[in-house]
Amino acid sequence: MTETDLHWLSTTELARVIGSGEVSSREALAHFVKRVEALDGPINAVVHWDLDQAEAGALEADEAYAAGRPLGPLHGVPLTIKDSFQTKGCITTSGAPELADFVPSEDAAPVAALRSAGAIPFAKTNLPIWAGDIQSHNEVYGCTNNPHNLDRTPGGSSGGSAAALAMGFTPLELGSDIGGSIRVPAHYSGVMGHKPSYGAVPAHGQIPGMPGTLSQADLAVAGPMARHVEDLELALDLLVGPDRWMRPAWSIALPPSRNQDAAKLRVAGWFDDDYCPVDPDTVDALMHLAALLDGAGVSVDIEARPAFTLEKIDGVFSRLLQAALAGSHDRGAIEAMAANPGEGHMAELRKAASQRHRDWLADNERRLQLRKRWEEFFTSFDIMLMPVQPRAAIPHDHSPQQWERRTTIGGVDRPYMDLFGWTGPAGAAFLPATVVPIGADRDGLPIGVQIVGPYLEDKTTLALAALIAELCGGCPKPALAM
């Protein structure tokens, strides 16, 4: 087993070689640590080590193998963890100066699930403060850069996770997603991510909320990120289950793919929209994907749509999202927003963040109506292909009022918020969405596709993801990672 082989192995294959004794867990851990130390300087993806615990865990894993004890599916596999997930005995900050020295006494639920399967967390990866941006920059650990172009962001909030995967620093990562925080970094950084159906994966112990919070935020999910679809599937199976409140009596068994032959899935494509225009490079990549699928026997209907507009579902999603994030504002700020929201786009955000509960109930009902429209659509189709964002990775911009930032899409100056128009249809309706790379823009930056499927039918989106990854060649390796 050569060093090059080791850090580009899939999680599944790495678990196999450790479980067969070809490589020890301690050797694998030492290899990944050495690689991070050698290559992470210009990237800044890995921001805090947990080596004492990791080395003890790796030794225990090797002793278990030597003693012939039963091994878990991730036995001895070293991996990094996004710094929003509480990790027992390891500083967990969520990018917030207030938590710069916070050491959790227990693992977040997803971390515990991976650790119980035999994984060895060895470091934490960067993110924006409170996981609240699509760029990964904070006052505690600084800025993470995109491995494909250091002048661009790797995405957020799981940007350090995506960059670490792209660089071969880890075979598997945990992401979280409320407004695209798994999907956007996967798209920007040229890796894979799966946003599970809402409620399928317990996420207690993620920050925010603050440590000790027992509620789970509306819209928010935790899910796997990797470089191989088989790893997304493996990790999802380990993460799915009832939460801490339902565990005494409930169980979850996700159904298999609607068709085990992915080429027989009924696929639609929603590649552009006047409400949120997509740049030509991204549209070209999506159309090329449709042609590749057609060559593999999959017909993609690019005219089919659910019975709602992108504008309609994005509006509902935006209001629900701002309500879900309103806990970051103190009561006085909320009252000030409600009394004087101002004018323009920021006014709409302030109104959403300070809305009355009766207004939230109305939007929740609109959400359920939209979920029903999706449900009806998925009687005729199994998958909807969509952009993740209307362009590839954006340049760094850490100006403090992020919603007042600007960007360019297809050479046109646009509001920063226009970057979010395509994450809402899956987010608002609680749907699973898998992202895999499908090409690059004219600057060589990765472009991913969002594979959206019916609620709780995550295995269907993963089945088509595997076929697309095969057709498109998988994850591109950055020049800095060679």
Mean pLDDT of 217-245: 97
Cis peptide before 176 (omega within 30 of 0): no
Q: Is 25 a residue of the active site? A: no
Cα(329)–Cα(346) distance, rounded to whole angstroms? 15
Question: Do 3-239 and 266-481 come out as alike in CATH topology?
Answer: yes
Active-site entry in 84, 158, 181, 354: 181
pTM comes to 0.96
Of the listed ranges 72-76, 315-319, 338-342, the one predicted with least confidence: 338-342
The CA-to-CA distance between both ends of the chain, in Å, stands at 17
CATH topology of domain 3-239: Amidase signature (AS) enzymes (3.90.1300)
315: enclosing H helix or E strand = helix 310-324
Catalytic position from the list 25, 84, 136, 157: 157
Confidence at residue 464, expressed as pLDDT on a 0 to 100 scale: 98
User: Any catalytic annotation for residue 215?
Assistant: no
pLDDT at 354: 72
Report whether pLDDT(49) > 70.
yes
- Strand locations in 116-162, DSSP E? 120-125, 137-138, 142-143
Question: If pLDDT is split at 50, 70 and 90, which confidence band does 346 have?
Answer: low
CB atoms within 10 A of CB 245: 11
Beta-carbon count within 10 A of 91 CB: 18
Which of the residues 25, 82, 161, 189 is marked catalytic?
82
Give the separation between CA 160 and CA 52, rounded to whole angstroms. 22
**The amino acid at 405:** R
Q: What share of the chain is helix, strand, coil (3-state, %, to 5)?
A: 40, 15, 45
Q: How far apart are CA 187 and CA 78, in angstroms?
A: 24
C-beta of residue 444 within 8 angstroms of C-beta of residue 415: no
Dist. CA 27–CA 4, nearest whole Å: 13
Between the alpha carbon of residue 6 and those of residues 60, 119, 168, 466, the distances in Å are 21, 16, 9, 22
Q: What are the boundaries of each domain within the chain?
A: 3-239, 266-481
157 in active site: yes
* 53-62, 89-98, 325-334, 395-404: segment of lowest average pLDDT: 325-334
Give, in order, the Cα–Cα distances in Å from 239 to each of 184, 217, 305, 324, 410. Answer: 21, 18, 32, 23, 38
Q: Where residue 64 falls among pLDDT bands split at 50, 70, 90?
A: very high
pLDDT tens, residue by residue, 146-204: 999 999 999 999 999 999 999 999 999 999 999 999 999 999 999 999 999 999 999 99
| 266-481 belongs to CATH 3.40.630.30 | no
Residue bearing the bigger pLDDT, 337 or 391: 391
Question: Which residue in 385, 353, 391 sits closest to 132, CA to CA?
Answer: 353
Kindly indicate the confidence band of residue 353, based on its pLDDT and cuts at 50, 70 and 90.
confident
**What is the per-residue pLDDT for 334?**
66
Query: Which conformational region is residue 68 in: left (phi greater than 0), alpha (psi within -120 to 50 degrees), or beta?
Result: left
